[in-house]
Structure 1
């Protein structure tokens, strides 16, 4: 069941334009809609009546008078429908239930262990989705669909997760996730890579601001990136989600953990894997560190212990994080010099782990940006944190209402 069923809910192109204008604002007056749409009064009035009658929008009072009658205000009807947003990542998967205002009604997460095969996870998702519907009194007819933001590469058109690397469980290749979810839940489903859904969420959250060119980078097990320009996602000939991690920053550098990867690739220096590898090596060398009291076997060390030591301001861990952030800042500067985004949103475990990585990386990036200070870029951790991928998957579904 594809997104066409969603797109057809508002069949009129001009009605889609008006609905999209209303969605960009908390409330907007009829006068403002006339100015921004360029439509005649009679056409706009008819479209507003249609959208109101169908339940897409609501009249929400009157605006301030400018000398004549007070203008009617309109807003999106958040209760028109509900959407599931699903994140599938290497360490965690998450399901959220939202209304059309992107207000979160419910959420559930699962740790991606070695037992979390596609079959197991899909069963959990379907059971939890049905439980959420029951808890909130939502019927299938009230659901717009389910969006999925997954580790790439993915085939968006067929709704298939292709060959993602580094899952602990087996079976994550050529998973027809959209087909399986649609068959189980009986609702439309859509798929994109998680970096794209994350930037969709952040872009929607900042829709009233003036940023036109946004870059998003997720720093975790690997590096994942996406970009929005003029409100539209930028796509390449193939799924580009993990390509930023293969950026070469040292031609004679360390070998990539994957035989197909580049020597000296950015994610070999700035990722959870790189930090864990550096910390394990230091423990084996007998370096003085809090980590030696947190884990007996260096090979069992995880990023969780690294974070614990960082909170205690352990000098060795501060050194490791600073070095990783410096390398990441160099890679980020390369992207700034090529793409020139107005705003860069950074997310993922390394960004959420504390200020040291974020501050070091952004300072290094700024110092190596060619047109600085004439070119000013805003760095942000984003507004939605670790829920951005799942929320953005829901935004992806909602956006189909205004697609032609």
Structure 2
């Protein structure tokens, strides 16, 4: 494709404000009747009919049968047309990275995962992602114009406006600082690419899964090598002045406590007690002290305890590993209670490998948080591991591209 061919923002695919709003209403439902659209939109019958005809002609929606009769003619039902186009979502994290392909309805068509080992530099990952996308384009098959774009949910700090991953920590491979990731992918793929913090894209995915339940205030916390969080209020992401990756982990829970893993962090901060790093550190210490554990059979000579060993020991109900995980989850529950007492979300989604791979951390943390939440039981909060598990970041990244179809650009028609 010629380099001077313009990249089309999905926001420009639907011109009319009214059409964007109707399309958004249809997306929020698996299927919706014309009568419901009429009531929700406030449009006249003639205007709504014209908008629906335009969306059908564009291939974005389709009729899908008739609803139940309320005494008269059965209403026509509408839904998003899945094969209009596809969206890509890339999760760039420290343990593993993941690429997903979604159709327009949000259904996953394909997925690929890469281990972020010490050789997985930006150049290597970008090459692998491009190869996978080209393979999917042949398998499905997809025309270039059917690729709406690619969203990236990445470890920060990052700048979502410039598309740059700035100063992330704890990647095993070098080269992950000051990476113009959006520009590099747009040059190679020639599709629109958007960048956001992975916690933000994960909460977008979980909000989409709950779109029928009308959850207005949601908190997402990811527990991995570090801690990441995101908040939605009235269905909209809450952004701070800058991206502050890892700031949740700097919450002080013991002012004279253990030092942070680098000189820049706070003594006695949450990250030091409940992250993957903290669990690995404690288990290594206990093994050096001579504590017995089946971990000894999983860890090879001259190898350190890692997350994969921890999860294997948990599955074998290892007493030492269970003790350390319970301790870490209790500390995390204290930090979570602090968040609940300040933010008061309706729902909290907890993600990351410690949550999705075993129940112990999740249940210990949530029970601790409930006991320490002010005004409980008057204030009730729903805890969840989420609908998408480890795929939440990548799925949400793909969804932010589909969401652009309903985005209002200046100068569009009414």
TM-score, length-scaled by structure 2: 0.95
Matched, 1:403 2:407: yes
Matched, 1:31 2:35: yes
CA contact 2:215–2:235 (8 Å) conserved in 1: no
Matched with 1:242 is 246
Matched, 1:209 2:213: yes
Matched, 1:367 2:371: yes
CA contact 1:283–1:298 (8 Å) conserved in 2: no
Taking the TM superposition and a 5 Å limit, the aligned residue runs for 1:373-392 are: 373-392=377-396
CA contact 2:7–2:190 (8 Å) conserved in 1: no
Matched with 1:265 is 269
Matched with 1:322 is 326
Matched with 1:157 is 161
CA distance in 1, matches of 2:352, 2:315: 18
Matched with 1:334 is 338
How far does residue 173 in structure 1 lie from its aligned partner after superposition?
Answer: 0.8
CA distance in 2, matches of 1:2, 1:285: 62
Matched, 1:80 2:84: yes
Matched with 1:199 is 203
CA distance in 2, matches of 1:2, 1:263: 51
Distance change (3 Å), C-alpha of 1:267 and 1:298: farther
> May I ask how many residue pairs the two structures share in their alignment?
404
How far does residue 2 in structure 1 lie from its aligned partner after superposition?
Answer: 9.8
How far does residue 210 in structure 1 lie from its aligned partner after superposition?
Answer: 2.4
How far does residue 288 in structure 1 lie from its aligned partner after superposition?
Answer: 2.0
CA contact 1:56–1:77 (8 Å) conserved in 2: yes
CA contact 2:220–2:349 (8 Å) conserved in 1: yes
User: Deviations for 1:114-167, whole angstroms, at most 9, x for unmatched residues?
Assistant: 111111110111111111101111011111001101001111111111110000
Matched with 2:411 is none
Matched with 2:316 is 312
Match of 2:13 among 9, 13, 19: 9
Matched with 1:93 is 97
CA distance in 2, matches of 1:293, 1:179: 46
SS across alignment from 2:345: coil
How far does residue 296 in structure 1 lie from its aligned partner after superposition?
Answer: 5.4
Match of 2:118 among 114, 117, 131: 114
SS across alignment from 1:300: coil
TM-score, length-scaled by structure 1: 0.98
How far does residue 297 in structure 1 lie from its aligned partner after superposition?
Answer: 5.0
Matched with 1:394 is 398
CA distance in 2, matches of 1:24, 1:2: 30
User: Deviations for 1:351-370, whole angstroms, at most 9, x for unmatched residues?
Assistant: 12311111110000000000
Distance change (3 Å), C-alpha of 1:10 and 1:146: same
SS across alignment from 2:9: helix
Taking the TM superposition and a 5 Å limit, the aligned residue runs for 1:282-301 are: 282-295=286-299, 300-301=304-305
How far does residue 299 in structure 1 lie from its aligned partner after superposition?
Answer: 5.8
Match of 1:219 among 219, 223, 236: 223
CA distance in 1, matches of 2:7, 2:216: 26
Matched with 2:359 is 355
CA contact 2:254–2:267 (8 Å) conserved in 1: yes
Match of 2:135 among 124, 131, 134: 131
Question: In angstroms, what is the RMSD of aligned CA positions?
Answer: 1.4
CA distance in 2, matches of 1:155, 1:181: 16
Distance change (3 Å), C-alpha of 1:388 and 1:145: same
CA distance in 2, matches of 1:18, 1:240: 35
Matched with 2:48 is 44
How far does residue 68 in structure 1 lie from its aligned partner after superposition?
Answer: 1.4
Unaligned runs of 5+ in 2: 409-414
CA distance in 1, matches of 2:302, 2:336: 31
Unaligned runs of 5+ in 1: none
Matched with 2:181 is 177
User: Deviations for 1:295-339, whole angstroms, at most 9, x for unmatched residues?
Assistant: 355861112222222222222111101100000000000000000
CA distance in 2, matches of 1:3, 1:269: 46
CA contact 1:78–1:100 (8 Å) conserved in 2: yes
CA contact 1:201–1:389 (8 Å) conserved in 2: yes
CA distance in 2, matches of 1:339, 1:318: 31
Matched with 2:145 is 141
